[in-house]
Amino acid sequence: MLEQRIGTWLELQDALFAGSWSEALGRHRSTFVFRGMPQVSNDLSTALNRQGLFVRKEKDLLRAFRKYARGDSPPSVESVWDWLALAQHHGLPTRMLDWTFSPYVALHFLTENPERYTDDGVVWCVDYRQTNQHLPRRLKTLLRREGADVFTGEMLATAASDLPAFDHLAKHPFVLFLEPPSLDARIVNQFALFSVMNGPELCLDSFLEAQAEGVRKLVIPAALKWEVRDKLDQSNITERVLFPGFDGLSRWLRRYYSPRGASKVASAPAASKRKRRRTTK
How does pLDDT run across 4-43, given as a tens digit for each residue? 999 999 999 999 999 898 988 899 999 999 999 999 999 9
Q: DSSP 3-state assignment of 20? A: coil
Distance (Å, whole) CA 187 – CA 170 = 30
- Look at residue 32 and tell me if it is in a domain: yes
| Exposed / middle / buried, residue 242 (Cβ in 10 Å: 0-12, 13-18, 19+) | buried
**Residue 113 CB neighbour total at 10 angstroms:** 13
Phi, psi of 27 (to 5 degrees): -140, 160
- Look at residue 72 and tell me if it is in a domain: no
Q: DSSP 3-state assignment of 112? A: coil
Residue 277 — pLDDT band, cuts 50, 70, 90? very low
Q: DSSP 3-state assignment of 267? A: coil
Lowest-confidence region among 13-22, 68-77, 112-121, 207-216: 68-77
- Look at residue 144 and tell me if it is in a domain: yes
Amino acid at 160: A
Distance (Å, whole) CA 180 – CA 190 = 12
Sheet holding 97-100, edge to edge: 2-5, 215-220, 121-127, 32-37, 97-100, 192-197, 175-179, 151-152
Mean pLDDT calculated for residue range 132-149 = 96
- Look at residue 23 and tell me if it is in a domain: yes
- Look at residue 69 and tell me if it is in a domain: no
pTM exceeds 0.95 for this model: no
Distance (Å, whole) CA 123 – CA 224 = 13
- Look at residue 74 and tell me if it is in a domain: no
| pLDDT score of 108 more than 50 | yes
CA torsion angle for 164, 169, 170, 173 (degrees, to 10)? -60
- Look at residue 168 and tell me if it is in a domain: yes
Distance (Å, whole) CA 18 – CA 103 = 11
Containing domain of residue 142, as a range?
A: 2-42+97-257
Amino acid at 30: S
Distance (Å, whole) CA 119 – CA 38 = 7
* Contact call for residues 105 and 242 (beta carbons, < 8 A): yes
In angstroms, what CA-CA distances link 90 with 77, 94, 191? 14, 11, 16
pLDDT tens digits, 43-100: 999 999 886 778 889 999 999 999 998 777 776 677 899 999 999 999 999 999 999 9
How many structural domains does the chain have? 1
- Look at residue 9 and tell me if it is in a domain: yes
Residue 271 — pLDDT band, cuts 50, 70, 90? very low
pLDDT at 95: 95
What is the average pLDDT value for the chain, to the nearest integer?
Answer: 90
